[in-house]
Amino acid sequence: MSEVEMIRVDGAAIKAQCEAILVGWGMDAETATVTAEVLLDCDLRGIDTHGISLLALYAGWIRGDGFSLAAKPEIERDGPSYGLINAHGGLGFAVSVQAVEMAVKKARATGIAAVGVRNSHHFGAAGYYARLAGRAGLVGLVATSTKVVCLVPPGASKPVLGTNPLAYAVPRKDAEPIVFDMATSTAAGNKVRMHHLKSLPVPEGWVVDGQGQPVTDPHEAYKLVYEPGEGGLTPLGASPHLGSHKGYGLALLVHFLGGALTGGTFAGSVNGREGKPEGDNIGHFFIAIDPEVFRGVDAFLADVEDVSETLKSTPSVDPNRPVMLPGDLEERVRGERLKDGVPLAPALVKQLSAIADELGVPFQLIDKNAAVN
């Protein structure tokens, strides 16, 4: 579906709708506001898979066990340069903001700090939390474990890992931080889902079957990624010849940081998931680094600008597609959507309307263009 066919919704309406649904599910107003801000930020930046559309996904998840939307996070370990927070089965958005703020405060005192979260659920886009550290003038690094097992290690026949996202942010002197956010798989599972919905062939290298052979049929690929069995997503690199061992290594690093260090569950474990008292037990990990303690913040920022200017002045093969820094495209999209509204698929709007109706909360996703007309 093209954006011409989309419904355009003002960002304030998206935030209000998110808050209404989350409170309707039992989340307190303050936590709902923070969560809605994270979801809206993704929609404004064009990261549509991690915006308000997640509420349609969560609607199914919270009908199962392990969600505690009214949970209050508890700080379990608190040292000069480290901390660990128990989310007690709540969604991961607000507790992750708390963890970043905690890491930033500690890093300003000690130079570098790390804070983990356990017993959490999905936290949206990792880049949001890295950006918070970058805006505070610190280097931020974010890793999270996952609950969906869909990534096939090189040479294996079945998936063991998740997409295991990794993000970083680097502060700049007079601009938004440089923010990079990636799955450690060649493609995100949601991209395969979109090809399935549109019946578009999946690019070769995204998905393999149980014999390690590439799968391009979108419907077969969707089943391999989202249904138990053999086959699934490839690690970043797609094949051993192209370096999939590197993506595999990164995926492991992300789990060791986000899962093993925090006490998060390894969803692909052959030893089962015993001792799972609070749902998925996803773990998040946040590192903040203060450039001041290494060489002074001004010198660091000057070098960051040197790198930025050099990259942006590099001749491009296509004059209409200049070299950009990570996050530049999202910033451009954000400016456009703040002005024109966020495009939402009619099918998604219908789903959200049904959720709002079921909860008895106001429906606020009004087509911005229709309102003008």
Instruction: Please report the pLDDT score of residue 1 as a whole number.
Output: 39
Contacts of 110 (CB under 8 A, 6+ apart): 80, 81
Mean pLDDT value of segment 252-261: 97
Residue pair 86/96 in contact by the 8 Å Cβ criterion: no
- Read off the pLDDT band of 287 (50, 70, 90): very high
- Read off the pLDDT band of 239 (50, 70, 90): very high
Mean pLDDT value of segment 264-279: 74
Instruction: Please report the pLDDT score of residue 370 as a whole number.
Output: 75
User: For a pLDDT cut of 90, what percent of the chain falls above it?
Assistant: 83
Residue 351 has pLDDT above 60, yes or no: yes
pLDDT tens column, 159-210 = 999 999 999 999 999 999 999 999 999 998 878 877 887 789 999 999 999 9
How long is the chain?
373
pLDDT tens column, 57-96 = 899 888 876 688 999 999 999 999 999 999 999 999 999 9
User: For a pLDDT cut of 70, what percent of the chain falls above it?
Assistant: 96
Torsion on CA atoms 94, 100, 102, 103, rounded to nearest 10: 160
